[in-house]
Each structure stands twice: as structure tokens, then as C-alpha cells.
Amino acid sequence: HKGFLKRKAHANIDGKRIPWGKRGWKTFYAVLKGMVLYLQKDDYRMDGHTLEEVVSVHHALAEKALDYTKRPHVFRLQTADWRIFLFEAGSKEQMSSWIARINLV
Ligand code: I3P
């Protein structure tokens, strides 16, 4: 499962609030493989390698972010270590499909 997602980090490990200046939305190319969500930044480093973040979705919970109304098609991902991310998908269908895939893991 793959595609572009915009991400906003909402809470760090143990539910701590992400500090000011690091709360913005960023675009990633997301790939879900097994129990891992790979988030590739859409910019490249000087050496040509892509920057990638890795989020374990083992025992994570994805659900539509009903209380977040600033953007459409946003789902919340809560990880087993209590990080919280918001992800904006390109359409309602893409959002539903990401939620279903993540919760299947
Ligand atoms: C954040 C950025 C986010 C905004 C967030 C800001 O600033 O503007 O877009 O979230 O508001 O703190 P920065 O990039 O300097 O971290 P929204 O898009 O949801 O408004 P927040 O602190 O209320 O989450």
C-alpha cells in the first residue's frame, strides 16, 4: 500500500506534545510494508539518497480524525508507544483504505 500523505506530528512518545516549530504539515511518500510505515520525504539529500522515517504500526490504531476539521480526509494514527500523528490523504477513499490497511496489521 503506497501513496502521498501529508503528516502532522501531534504527540511524541508517551503522549508528550510536539513543540512549537515542529507541528507543521509535511508531505511524504508513504509505503506500508508488513508492520512498518515508511515515510519518504519528497526532497532529496545531496548524496541522492532519500530521507526516510519509519513508524511501526504494530498495535497501532488508525481512525478518522473526526475532531480535526481544518482539513478533509484526515486520519489519526496512534502508535503502540503513544505517538500520535495526523495524516491527510488525497481523498475519502484513500483515507478509508489507509485506515483499513493499518488496522489489519
Ligand atoms: C504549526 C503549523 C501547523 C499548525 C500548528 C502550528 O506551526 O502552523 O500547521 O497546525 O498549530 O503550531 P509550526 O510549523 O511552527 O510548528 P494546524 O495546521 O492544525 O493549524 P497547533 O500548534 O495548534 O497544532
Interface pTM, i.e. ipTM: 0.93
| pLDDT confidence bin for 105, thresholds 50/70/90 | confident
User: Could you tell me the CA-to-CA distances from 104 to 6, 44, 50, 73 in Å, in that order?
Assistant: 21, 31, 28, 19
* CB of 21 closer than 6 angstroms to any ligand 1 atom: yes
Minimum CA distance residue for ligand 1 atom 3: 24
Q: Where are the beta strands (DSSP E) in the chain?
A: 2-11, 25-33, 36-44, 50-56, 61-64, 74-78, 84-88
Minimum CA distance residue for ligand 1 atom 5: 23
Q: pTM, whole model, 2 decimals?
A: 0.92
Residue pLDDT, tens place only, 57-100: 999 999 999 999 999 999 999 999 899 999 999 999 999 999 99
